[in-house]
């Protein structure tokens, strides 16, 4: 008893967890029983992150989790509390600016999400209550409500279809926002229900909410007059999903089974999280090193201060006050430590974060302005939704792409067919009545045809074996029909009479429409299905009628579909079409060889091939099949297995007639784009909700699978083979594939991906949604972990991976699996439909395509482009350049601040550790904000170390910057060593000059402010000229900011020291700068120290022979704008910029 109660409390109660009972229309069932309404969640959708109340604390908490923001907050508080050498404004103002800008940006984005949620939640819906039709807001819907939905409306929650306005009890829906397929799918009402739903008394028992779009198991109990309840089985064909649209059906009624955040659409939605780039992680790591340097400096100075004071008496001119004498010694030491921290704090400048934010924000405009991204069809260019990830575009290792609408145009076209081994290829303007034109055939049978009877039988099979519906033209549907009729770019006027020209075809798969239209080209026209009768118009313009007896639906294991029809003469025929591998074993083997070569040739050409077969059924055979089918369809347990057994029993001993080839047209330059991305070292995975055959032919057409690629298949079909349990078979297959692709594979040289290694054997991996579920959620935890590892290792050693029949959440799970694998590779997801949103949000970089399937993907993406072909330039050119620019910006910032603060630290050894600043407060504040900020910002926006055309032509250059190559520790240490060297040269060079006391003509000596000003002048000129040496691509902006910054420094120093400022208590620099420049010695030392600092860099550039793959191309790689002497000096790769590519 206690165990049961605990189980109930903690979710162990089987009945409660695995099923739910729904009372249709909230009526008690049976009517005489007490009714306790069950509690389910409401229909409210929430995708926002903040509320009005939690925005400020939650946003501030998230921002101060960033190590830099937290550090600057501490420094600001220290400056406010403790008497420090510098003002709190120096760190407080930039911090406030960064926090405010980020909060406004994130608040605005969340406000947009709130707005979208309100639109969905307040959408009006019609509900039946006590026989009356009531309008409600969508969020008020409850489980059990009977909802009315009209044509072209979206289903407000997951519904079981109870009633349809169509005579045959069906309705058509499109699920583009769920699985990306824009085709019409047929759904069925629950059979034998009351025509007036007001009198319906029923309960539904179904599984608890789960995200798989293609699975649903339930049953309905219908109560009538105190009899035993009738039981009806419910499956996915009865379930209408939230987000799908009703098409070609005036209205339907359905009962709500899942609402709000429990709908399959909501369970597949991945919440938007803050994405961080790899560069930001590197900055944080470098920041910790510099923080350690800062603390070390402060500790050293604090310790030495008290050592020095213990050895020296207190000077008479600086006697301590009584208050200072009474202060606790340890407290005094601590405040001194904090004062040193603030004095050296400029080694980690907040201005770097401001500059990085500005670089990202302004840099993103270059993507939006790029004319190559403009698409004349939609009259739009690229769109940047987040500027935080520009540099991540240069680090991508894995690309996850959708198929339909991304790789392909979802536009099927009938190419050719083969009848009895003779190839028929249609030619426009053919003079023959039937449109046939034989172009080639098997052995010595060129220019021959199959018999006319076989031709007509084949064409009848194409016209009858499908689930296509004919949609008559209506005023409102005209545009839609125009769109439908252009499935293969061919109008129907070639065959149809004028009154029939306006018919449109709708089907669950575009290739079915292509086949029906292919038959139209050759004189056989499908006229439609009317009350179980299929009508076709033959070549002689006679109408033939066939009674549709049964449809044996397509499924991914059988990979074929069939229809049983009865002709006017009473003959019963079975027509079957499917993949060659599923049809060939079911037909007479002597017929196979005649057609196999055509099928294989078409498949290697990237076409979608289907074989067509037929069979005459005797009356006895049909009667048995009919009885078995009816029995299997009523089964509650193992319904799918029983149906499949009957299907396989009927579909045997068929006669093969021929095969078809249909092309799903690829996006422009899809194959070239994939080749370039693979050449750049990226691995491409195709994740699609589509069938395996279609997706496989697309992979061949794109060049992801080559002729020599050996395909490793892990699908339901391969798991069914071998007679073992699926779990056991899965284990065997994973081990077998792992041995092939991983253990037996030759080792790959560093830096060469397997797809480009010549000796390695190419493997392609194919997995479907059901098999993936088994891999990710195996019965035991240890098995699951080992399956995941095996699966990942196999996939990572394959040139391309195809995942078909994926639910949206499964796409995100795969991305997450790779993202969290060893080495944390950078992932990119690209798609065009709402079904791709989860993987777009999960990947490091999400890219939406402005396709036909709504703008959900575009709204949720980080970047949006009009076509797939634009991805090549986005990654290989923009991504490459952004990464190089920002990496240089980060290294340069740390370097120039180390140069800046090291002399300040060394100065403490010469001033009794008194926290005396070396530089004036104006210089401390202006160094990072004005004197050195603009040149590096211009560099980080405009630099092109290699011109864009060369980057696009040589995709292998992308590999040189892979795995964060320019922000590795070796390079960071190089820049740090350079900063230390320059800091030592500046300080001790000037110290050497000051060893001669009289530096002016009148014999006056320079003071400490003159010392600091000379050091500062050498510093500003050196770090700015260092950047000029690194600049490869000179524009007028670079010239303006580099020479302008130096001129501004000189002007400011004269101006600041030349006027008596009334608001300053101490005017330390009064005429110091002008006085300094009156000394020839000061001029000499400034010029000498600048040259001495830059000399190693110049010698290295001039004397070093260029090495590495890019050396040969150097003359082609450099942009040809405004080359200067400095540009010529830096034409060869300098150590710090390009040692990563050697």
Active site residues: 402
Q: How far apart are CA 164 and CA 172, in angstroms?
A: 10
* DSSP conformation class of 51: -
Say if residues 149 and 155 touch (Cβ distance below 8 Å): yes
CA-based nearest residue to 511, from 419, 578, 411: 411
Q: How far is CA 420 from the centre of its chain?
A: 46
CB within 8 Å of 845: residues ≥ 6 apart: 275, 389, 392, 393, 396, 826, 827, 828, 829, 862, 863
Cα-Cα-Cα-Cα torsion 740, 742, 745, 750, nearest 10 degrees, comes to 160
Q: How far apart are CA 835 and CA 844, in angstroms?
A: 18
533: phi then psi, degrees, rounded to nearest 5: -110, 125
Tokens of 933: 């900020």
Tokens of 470: 């004919």
Tokens of 120: 């969905």
DSSP output for 191-246: SS--SSGGG--EEEEEEPP-S-TT---EEEEE--TTSPPEEEEE-GGGEE-TT-EE
CA-based nearest residue to 138, from 148, 119, 125: 125
Q: How far apart are CA 273 and CA 508, in angstroms?
A: 35
Alpha helices in 312-349 (DSSP H): 322-326, 329-344
State how far the alpha carbon of 455 is from the alpha carbons of 88, 436, 657, in Å.
89, 10, 9
Instruction: Tell me how crowded residue 536 is: count the other CB atoms within 10 A of its CB.
Output: 21
Cα-Cα-Cα-Cα torsion 954, 956, 960, 962, nearest 10 degrees, comes to 120
- Alpha-carbon dihedral sign for residues 905, 911, 912, 916: negative
Q: How far apart are CA 760 and CA 768, in angstroms?
A: 26
Residue that has been written with the tokens 């405010």 in this structure: 100
13: phi then psi, degrees, rounded to nearest 5: -75, 110
E strands present in 908-1005: none
Q: How far apart are CA 739 and CA 354, in angstroms?
A: 51
List the Cα angle 1100/1102/1105 in 5-degree steps. Answer: 80
Tokens of 237: 């064909």
Say if residues 1054 and 1074 touch (Cβ distance below 8 Å): yes
- Alpha-carbon dihedral sign for residues 601, 602, 608, 612: negative
If DSSP codes are grouped into helix, strand and coil, which group holds residue 614? strand
Q: How far apart are CA 184 and CA 173, in angstroms?
A: 5
HEC string of 1059-1102 equals CCCCCCCCCCCCCHHHHHHCCHHHHHHHHHHHHHHHHHHHHHHH
Query: Considering just the CA atoms, what is the radius of gyration of the chain in Å?
Result: 37
Q: How far apart are CA 531 and CA 966, in angstroms?
A: 69
Q: How far apart are CA 751 and CA 960, in angstroms?
A: 9
Strand 469-471 relative to strand 504-506, pairing: antiparallel
271: phi then psi, degrees, rounded to nearest 5: -60, 150
């Amino acid at each position: 008893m206690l165990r049961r109660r605990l189980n109930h409390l903690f979710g162990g109660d089987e009945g409660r967890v695995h099923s739910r009972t729904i009372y249709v229309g909230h009526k008690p069932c049976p009517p005489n029983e007490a009714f306790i309404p069950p509690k389910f969640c409401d229909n409210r959708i929430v995708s926002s992150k903040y509320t009005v109340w939690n925005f400020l604390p939650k946003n501030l908490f998230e921002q101060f989790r960033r190590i830099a923001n937290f550090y600057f907050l501490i420094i600001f508080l220290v400056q406010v509390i403790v008497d420090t050498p510098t003002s709190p404004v120096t760190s407080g103002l930039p911090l406030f600016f960064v926090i405010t800008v980020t909060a406004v940006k994130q608040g605005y984005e969340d406000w947009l999400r709130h707005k979208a949620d309100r639109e969905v939640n307040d959408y009006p819906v019609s509900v039946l209550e006590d026989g009356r039709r009531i309008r409600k807001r969508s969020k008020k819907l409850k489980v059990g409500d009977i909802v009315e939905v009209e044509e072209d409306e979206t289903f407000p929650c997951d519904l079981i279809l109870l009633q349809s306005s169509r005579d045959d009890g069906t309705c058509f829906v499109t699920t583009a926002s769920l699985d990306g397929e824009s085709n019409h799918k047929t759904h069925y009402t629950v059979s034998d229900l009351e025509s007036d739903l007001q009198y319906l008394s029923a309960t539904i028992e179904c599984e608890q909410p789960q995200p798989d779009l293609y699975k649903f198991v339930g049953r309905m109990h219908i109560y009538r007059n105190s009899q035993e309840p009738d039981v009806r089985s419910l499956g996915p064909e009865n379930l209408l999903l939230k987000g799908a649209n009703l098409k070609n059906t005036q209205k339907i009624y359905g009962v709500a089974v899942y609402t709000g955040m429990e709908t399959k659409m909501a369970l597949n939605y991945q919440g938007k999280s803050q994405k961080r780039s790899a560069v930001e992680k590197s900055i944080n790591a470098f920041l910790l090193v510099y923080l350690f340097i800062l603390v070390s400096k402060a500790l050293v100075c604090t310790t030495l201060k008290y050592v020095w004071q213990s050895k020296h008496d207190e000077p008479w001119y600086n006697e301590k006050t009584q208050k200072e004498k009474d202060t606790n010694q340890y407290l005094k030491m601590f405040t001194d430590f904090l004062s040193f921290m603030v004095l050296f704090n400029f080694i980690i400048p907040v201005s770097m974060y401001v500059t990085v934010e500005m670089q990202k924000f302004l840099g993103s405009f270059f993507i939006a302005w790029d004319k190559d991204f403009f698409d004349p069809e939609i009259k739009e260019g690229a769109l940047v939704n987040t500027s935080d990830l520009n540099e991540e575009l240069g680090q991508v290792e894995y690309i996850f792409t959708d198929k339909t609408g991304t790789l392909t145009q979802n536009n099927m076209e009938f190419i050719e067919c083969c009848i009895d081994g003779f190839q028929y290829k249609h030619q426009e303007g053919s003079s023959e009545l039937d449109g046939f034109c034989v172009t080639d055939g098997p052995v010595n049978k060129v220019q021959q045809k199959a018999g006319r009877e076989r031709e007509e039988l084949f064409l009848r099979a194409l016209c009858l074996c499908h689930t296509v519906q004919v949609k008559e033209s209506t005023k409102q549907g005209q545009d839609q029909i125009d769109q439908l009729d252009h499935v293969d770019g061919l109008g129907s006027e070639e065959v149809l009479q004028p009154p029939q020209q306006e018919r449109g075809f709708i089907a669950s798969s575009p290739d079915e429409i292509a086949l029906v239209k292919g038959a139209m080209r050759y004189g056989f026209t499908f006229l439609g299905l009317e009350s179980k009768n299929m009508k076709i118009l033959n070549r002689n313009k006679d109408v033939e009628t066939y009674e549709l007896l049964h449809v044996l639906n397509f499924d991914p294991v059988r990979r074929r579909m069939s229809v049983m029809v009865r002709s006017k003469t009473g003959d019963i025929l079975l027509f079957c079409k499917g993949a060659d591998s599923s049809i060939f074993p079911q037909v007479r083997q002597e017929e196979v060889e005649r057609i196999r070569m055509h099928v294989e040739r078409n498949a290697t050409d990237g076409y979608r091939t289907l074989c067509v077969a037929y069979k005459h059924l005797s009356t006895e055979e049909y009667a048995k099949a009919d009885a078995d089918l009816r029995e299997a369809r009523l089964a509650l347990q193992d319904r799918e297995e029983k149906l499949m057994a009957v299907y396989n029993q009927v579909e045997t001993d068929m006669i093969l007639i021929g095969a078809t080839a249909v092309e799903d047209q690829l996006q422009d330059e899809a194959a070239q784009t994939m080749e370039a991305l693979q050449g750049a070292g990226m691995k491409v995975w195709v994740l699609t909700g589509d069938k395996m055959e279609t997706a496989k032919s697309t992979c061949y057409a794109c060049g992801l699978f080559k002729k020599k690629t050996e395909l490793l298949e892990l699908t339901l079909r391969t798991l069914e083979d071998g007679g073992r349990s699926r779990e056991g078979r899965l284990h065997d297959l994973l081990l077998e594939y792992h041995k092939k692709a991983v253990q037996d594979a030759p080792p790959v040289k560093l830096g060469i991906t397997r797809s480009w290694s010549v000796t390695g054997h190419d493997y392609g991996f194919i997995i479907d949604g059901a098999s993936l579920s088994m891999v990710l959620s195996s019965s035991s935890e240890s098995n699951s972990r080992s399956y995941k590892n095996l699966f990942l290792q196999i996939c990572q050693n394959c040139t391309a991976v195809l995942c078909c029949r994926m639910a949206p959440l499964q796409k995100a799970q795969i991305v997450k699996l790779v993202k969290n694998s060893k080495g944390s590779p950078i992932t990119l997801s690209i798609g065009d439909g709402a079904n791709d949103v989860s993987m777009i949000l999960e990947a490091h970089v999400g890219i939406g395509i402005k396709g036909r399937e709504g703008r959900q993907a575009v709204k949720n993406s980080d970047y949006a482009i009009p076509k797939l072909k634009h991805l090549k330039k986005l990654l290989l050119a923009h991504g490459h350049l952004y990464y190089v620019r920002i990496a240089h910006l980060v290294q340069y910032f740390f370097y120039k601040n180390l140069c800046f603060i090291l002399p300040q630290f060394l100065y403490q050894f010469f001033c009794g550790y008194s926290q005396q600043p070396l530089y004036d407060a104006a210089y401390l504040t202006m160094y990072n904000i004005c004197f050195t900020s603009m040149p590096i910002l211009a560099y980080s926006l405009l630099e092109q170390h290699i011109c864009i055309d060369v980057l696009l032509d040589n995709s292998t250059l992308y590999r040189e910057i892979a795995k964060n190559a320019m922000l590795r520790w070796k390079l960071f240490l190089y820049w740090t060593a350079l900063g230390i060297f320059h800091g030592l040269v500046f300080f001790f060079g000037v110290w050497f000059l000051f060893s001669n006391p009289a530096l002016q003509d009148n014999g006056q000596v320079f003071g400490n402010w003159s010392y600091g000003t000379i050091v500062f002048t050498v510093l500003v000129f050196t770090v700015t000229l260092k950047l000029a040496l690194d600049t490869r691509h000179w524009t007028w902006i670079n010239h303006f900011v580099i020479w302008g910054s130096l001129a501004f420094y000189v002007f400011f120093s004269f101006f600041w020291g030349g006027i008596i400022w009334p608001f300053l208590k101490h005017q330390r620099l009064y005429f110091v700068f002008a006085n300094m420049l009156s000394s020839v010695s000061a001029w000499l030392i400034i010029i000498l120290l600048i040259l001495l600092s830059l000399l190693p860099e110049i010698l290295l550039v001039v004397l070093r022979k260029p090495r590495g793959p890019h050396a040969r191309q150097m003359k082609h790689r450099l942009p040809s704008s405004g080359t200067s002497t400095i540009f010529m000096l830096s034409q060869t790769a300098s150590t710090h910029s390009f040692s990563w590519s050697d």
